[in-house]
Homo-oligomer: A and B are copies of this chain.
Amino acid sequence: MSVNRTELLKEKGEQMQNYNTIILSNQEVSPGYFRMRILAPGFGAKARSGQFLMFRVQHLLLPLLRRPFGIFRVGLLPPDCEGMPPKEYVEILYKVVGGGTRIMSELHHGDHVELLGPLGNGFTSGAVKKVKILVGGGIGLVPLYMLASELVTQSPVRLLMGGRTRDDILAVTEFERLGVETYVSTDDGSLGEEGMVTEALKRKLVRFPDAEVYACGPMPMLKAVRDICYKRGVSLQVSLEAHMACGVGACLGCVVKGAAHTEETPQYLCCCKAGPVFMAETLDWGKIDTDDKSCGGCA
């Protein structure tokens, strides 16, 4: 009568896993922004760009809930001693915004942490050869790096990166190293052009009207990007944020409104399960009420 768990997982194609692991490094890369590498054997083979993980900050129940973070990249480190296999890691890039990220910023090499992942639906690659424009606002650039590294093998890739000041512009040289052409704008003009990243997008779309766009950043930016793409009939994938408790579709805390949403027949989609990456047309942009404060954002 009863089912075998291993079979069940195979049947469902489930990849996610809870890692009881340690931190390899945790460094401040720009004021208030940190990069953390976490040992995670086997994680890289499963992870796709745009997916995320739920990070348990301490074994103590403080903070209580796990914190969601995009996967910045996965990679290998040389082993500590010869003959050992290289160390597989997942890297996150985060901004200190509140209690949980503050505690994270004080963690060190060797500290014990837990992570659940890879979670959610990632980006889809789109048409080969077509120009890809990635739009990142502040910490919203995180999921775009792995995406870029996948896309560059088959299409020209441009990154439009916006932030409040130069301190909010991260990892640009790494994108360039992938062969991605990058354009930077800041609100205060302290790096790149002064102004909004959306202006740069409009200009790009004049040159590449059939480009495909991928965006992640604060909700006002995403709305503006969506309007621009919508008017021009340009394909857009967005990565959203929502407050999450479980990350696996069980608590229903993280919903966003789908395109078919009406007051009478509401359509709520779990950001953690149906997203965090959505095709723009599957969402209700008029009324998406992802809490603005909670966007990774330039601010």
Contact = CB atoms under 8 A, between A and B. Distances in A.
Interface string A51-85: 00000000011100000000000000000000000
Interface in A230-282: none
A200 to B, nearest CB: 43
Chain B CB count within 10 A is highest, among A60, A61, A62, A103, for A60
Interface string A33-61: 00000000000000000000000000011
A59 to B, nearest CB: 11
Chain B CB count within 10 A is highest, among A61, A62, A103, for A62
Nearest to A103: B60
Interface string A165-182: 000000000000000000
Copies of this chain, tallied across the complex: 2
Q: Is the interface of A mostly helix, strand, loop or mixed?
A: loop
Interface residues of A, number: 4
A121 B61 CA distance: 37
A244 to B, nearest CB: 22
A16 B3 CA distance: 66
A107 to B, nearest CB: 13
A61 B62 CA distance: 9
A105 to B, nearest CB: 14
Contacts of A103: 60
Contacts of A60: 62, 103
A243 to B, nearest CB: 22
Nearest to A63: B60
Contacts of A61: 62
A64 to B, nearest CB: 11
A62 B61 CA distance: 9
A61 B60 CA distance: 11
A216 to B, nearest CB: 31
A104 to B, nearest CB: 13
Interface of A: 60-62, 103
List the 4 closest A-B pairs by CB distance, nearest first: A62-B62, A60-B62, A61-B62, A60-B103
